[in-house]
Amino acid sequence: MRNQCGIVRDLLPSYIDGLCSNESKEFIEIHNKSCDACREVLNQMKTEVSFPNEKDRVERLTAKKPFKKLKNILIISISSLLILAVILTAIVFEYLNQPRPVDTNSIIIQEIVIENNQLTVIGDTAHSALWYSGEYEINYDGVETLYLIPRYRQVSKENSSGRFVINHEFRGELLELDLASINKIYLQGKNPSDIRLIWER
């Protein structure tokens, strides 16, 4: 029996790892049914494999922590980059979508009508990328001249072309303006010095 115990205990590591042959496995199991000492050794070995000592457990947990920290840093970095990309996209879109005056040589005036206290200007743009925003500004010099500033966007849902029609009814500050006294209308661009005469009485 003692000789068998020595053989069985030599085979137990392979038995636990599932590496021994079927014959050896059967031999160990038959022997352990009748040998309390070998059965106890087997149980002890299984416990040590399943539950390593505290030092080993702490070492394994500590070894995993750097990778966990690296994973968290990576997730935070990617999330931050995505948020930054969304913010930058929104800023660029807002910038492109801001209505702004353009160079006067980019605008083609087709018709101007002044009647019944209303100014109508029909025009187009020489560049298809400049879409009329529907916004404009009219300034009066207080004597005889109006300055028209149509505003365009590079991105627009309102108008997919550069064509525009301005129907301006004079009211508010210009309510008392006598259109009969207007002799000139200038188109004004983004620079105050960029003006072009588009109508003269």
Each residue's pLDDT tens digit, 83-121: 999 999 999 888 877 787 878 888 889 999 988 788 899
What is the number of other CB atoms lying within 10 angstroms of the CB of residue 162?
21
Which positions ≥6 away from 124 have C-beta within 8 Å?
A: 107, 108, 110, 161, 162, 163, 164
The domain limits of the chain are 2-50, 104-200
* pTM for the model: 0.51
Residue 125 vs residue 87, higher pLDDT: 87
Quick check: 155 pLDDT over 70? no
